[in-house]
């Protein structure tokens, strides 16, 4: 089958699939304060449809699939979806807020999901509650320790917000001292309804400066990034784990992009920042091939950030209002 190559000669072997728009947290950077109108269940992909679409992408060269949300584990058929996808020749990955992950340990092990990305934006209970609008920090901490004890490797996704949690950079990095965890600092990104302002973004430069000031510049080791890695990776000398910075805003990495995104209602997005969507689910339900939609999505993919490569264009909120909220895209 035709490989997934865009006009910039980038090969796409990584598919991120959102299972649901629902979430048991209300993180302010992810969704509007008033929430979003949820689509009727009939508009969402069923477990069978997820498997069928994923199988087609695998035939076209995808070898990694990440499940996202909303919160993917709130789907009642989450285990069924994991079990079916694990039959494909792919590396399965998961991004979750971790609150209900304890219910799925066995199926994740069976599916060989050995690395789990946990979204956690504060190590302080009150601050966690302020960011997520839910008092669930103790449950998350308990589940992270459970996953660690069960042999999973954790990657902690931390969206930094200036004046809110940027004072926790060092406490987060310290979590990697004795555990093989990766702390991933993510720059605050603009989406519909999240009141993004560039001044709230904590840059790659600022994060490194904080780390070097605390540990000493000679103690911060720059690690080799994996191919197509979105993160720039570092390690404090003597620490077991590492930390990384995903600098989508201040230092984008689009030249090596290998990712496509499938929303919970079966729309293909070629970029996180693109408002363009390509309807695969309707074609599937009509008994038609959706290769044409995939090929158009690839041919329309910009070289960088949905064409918003100029800082002034990227900083203009008007250029993001037609895109979905993060919770409806799937991270």
Tell me how far apart the alpha carbons of residues 126 and 147 are, in angstroms, rounded to a whole number: 23
pLDDT exceeds cutoff 80 at 325? no
Strands 232-236 and 220-222, bridge-based pairing: antiparallel
Q: Write down the residue that tokens 């910075």 correspond to.
A: 245
pLDDT at position 59 is: 98
Q: Do residues 30 and 327 touch, judged by C-beta distance below 8 A?
A: yes
Class of the domain covering 14-329: alpha beta
pLDDT at 34: 65
Give the containing element (helix H, strand E) for 212.
Answer: helix 204-215
Name the burial class of residue 244, with classes exposed (0-12), middle (13-18) and buried (19+) by CB atoms within 10 angstroms of its CB. buried
Reported as a single tens digit per residue, the pLDDT across 290-319 is 999 999 999 999 998 877 777 666 777 666
- Average of per-residue pLDDT values in the chain: 91
CB 161 within 8 A of CB 169: no
Predicted pLDDT at 321 = 65
> What integer is the mean pLDDT of 237-264?
91
Residue-range domain boundaries for the chain: 14-329
Secondary structure (3-state) at 205: helix
pLDDT in tens, 20-78: 998 888 777 776 666 677 788 899 999 999 999 999 999 999 999 999 988 999 999 99
Name the more confident of 34 and 100. Answer: 100
Residue 236 to residue 221: CA distance in whole angstroms: 6
The string of pLDDT tens digits covering residues 146-155 is 999 999 999 9
Provide the pLDDT for residue 323.
67
DSSP helix/strand/coil, 52: helix
Which range is least confidently modeled, 96-100, 132-136, 305-309, 325-329? Answer: 325-329
């Amino acid at each position: 089958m035709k490989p997934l190559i865009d006009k910039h000669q980038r090969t796409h072997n990584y598919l991120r699939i959102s299972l649901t728009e629902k979430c048991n947290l209300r993180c302010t950077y992810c969704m509007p304060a008033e929430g979003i109108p949820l689509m009727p269940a009939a508009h969402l992909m069923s477990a069978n449809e997820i498997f069928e679409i994923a199988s087609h992408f695998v035939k076209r060269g995808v070898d990694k699939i990440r499940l996202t949300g909303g919160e993917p584990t709130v789907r009642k058929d989450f285990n069924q979806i994991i079990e079916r996808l694990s039959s494909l020749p792919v590396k399965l990955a998961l991004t979750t807020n971790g609150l209900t992950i304890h219910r799925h340990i066995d199926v994740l092990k069976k599916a060989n999901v050995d690395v789990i990305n946990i979204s956690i934006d504060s190590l302080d209970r009150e601050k966690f509650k302020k960011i997520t609008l839910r008092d669930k920090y103790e449950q998350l901490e308990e589940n992270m320790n459970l996953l660690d004890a069960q042999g999973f490797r954790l990657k902690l996704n931390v969206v930094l917000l200036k004046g809110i949690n940027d004072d926790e950079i060092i406490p987060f990095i310290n979590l990697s001292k004795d555990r093989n965890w990766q702390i991933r600092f993510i720059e605050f990104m603009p989406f519909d309804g999240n009141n993004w302002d560039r001044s709230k973004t904590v840059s790659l430069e600022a994060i490194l400066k904080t780390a070097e000031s605390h540990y000493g510049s000679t103690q911060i080791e720059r690690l080799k990034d994996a191919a197509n890695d979105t993160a720039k990776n570092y390690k404090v000398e003597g620490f077991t784990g590492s930390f990384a910075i995903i600098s989508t805003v201040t230092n984008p990495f689009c030249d090596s992009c290998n990712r496509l995104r499938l929303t919970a209602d079966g729309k293909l997005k070629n970029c996180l920042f693109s408002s363009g969507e390509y309807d695969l689910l309707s074609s599937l339900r009509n008994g038609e091939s959706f290769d044409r939609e995939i090929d158009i999505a690839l041919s329309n993919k910009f070289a960088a950030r949905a064409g918003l490569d100029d800082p002034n264009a990227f900083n203009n909120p008007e250029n993001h209002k037609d895109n979905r909220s993060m919770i409806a895209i799937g991270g």
